[in-house]
A and B are shown apart, each in its own frame.
Chain A
Amino acid sequence: GESVGLHLPTLSVQEGDNSIINCAYSNSASDYFIWYKQESGKGPQFIIDIRSNMDKRQGQRVTVLLNKTVKHLSLQIAATQPGDSAVYFCAENIRGRETSGSRLTFGEGTQLTVNP
């Protein structure tokens, strides 16, 4: 079936390095994507989103890139800090569900570990 998935389950980086977390999706009807961060013992926290009419969106130290040709989404974190250690999820919304509520499909998550 169609799903949202991540290439790597874990990622370990040194403090100060840039991190790139990848996500593959297979539904060409997806029109909205979100990245969430989930720290241990907490619920998922919104980081950044992007709509399908965009290729790139930047936030504070984070950038999301969307490549619709290969159905690939990535989250780039600049100057990674120990506080960035968490599980990162991508989520997609499939177009056509405008009247039935936001219907996000989540990936499995990547555990990011930042080493001091």
Chain B
Amino acid sequence: ETGVTQTPRHLVMGMTNKKSLKCEQHLGHNAMYWYKQSAKKPLELMFVYNFKEQTENNSVPSRFSPECPNSSHLFLHLHTLQPEDSALYLCASSPLGRGTDTQYFGPGTRLTVL
């Protein structure tokens, strides 16, 4: 266990559904991240939060909406997704959000969009 938990582990949703992914870290870190991992592709950074403030949005479509209520919790709200959004969504955290921080990952949510 890395100290980063994600729920649900698996999610199947239709294109008109609204769902949310949850991430919680128990490491006392101050930075949290959302990544998308598709088959045969490198991890793609989506969002970065540092001390609850969003510091990076990597040109992510608005159908993905992040929320960070505190340094321990991170959500990814999903609505009107497309089948190509099916992927493994990974959450990570790091101590201070500095360039040389090590990021620790959760197990991911396997999302399937029908």
Q: Residues 1-33 of chain B: 1 if any A CB is under 8 Å from the residue's CB, otherwise 0? A: 010101000000000000000000000000101
B97 interface residue (CB < 8 Å to A): yes
Q: A31-B99, A32-B100 are in contact. Are A43 and B31 (CB under 8 A)?
A: no
Is B82 an interface position by the 8 A CB rule?
A: no
Q: At the interface, yes or no: B66 with Cβ under 8 Å from chain A?
A: no
Please determine whether A95 and B99 come into contact, CB atoms closer than 8 angstroms.
yes
- With A45-B105, A103-B45 in contact, do A93 and B100 touch (Cβ < 8 Å)? yes
- B48 lies within 8 A of A101 (CB): yes
Q: Which residues of the partner chain B approach A41 to less than 8 Å between Cβ atoms? A: 107
Q: Which residue of A lies closest to B51 (CB)?
A: A101
The distance from the CB of B37 to the nearest CB of chain A, in whole angstroms, is: 9
Most buried by A among B43, B97, B99, B106: B99
- CB-CB contacts of B94-107 with A at 8 A, as 1s and 0s? 10011111111111
- Decide if A44 touches B105 in the complex (CB within 8 Å): yes
Interface size on B, residues (CB 8 A): 30
Contacts of A49 in B (CB 8 A): 102
Given the interface contacts A43-B90, A101-B56, A108-B42, does A32 sit within 8 Å of B108 by beta carbon?
no
The answer to whether B2 touches A102, judged by C-beta atoms less than 8 angstroms apart, is no
Q: Looking across the interface, which residue of chain A has its beta carbon closest to that of B47?
A: A101
Within 8 A of A (CB), among B64-109: 90, 92, 94, 97-108
Where the two chains meet, the residues of B that have a C-beta atom closer than 8 Å to any C-beta of A are 2, 4, 6, 31, 33, 40-43, 45, 48-50, 55-56, 90, 92, 94, 97-108
17 contacts between A and B (CB under 8 A): A34-B103, A42-B107, A45-B2, A46-B104, A96-B99, A98-B99, A100-B48, A100-B55, A101-B33, A101-B48, A101-B55, A101-B97, A102-B33, A103-B56, A103-B99, A106-B42, A108-B40
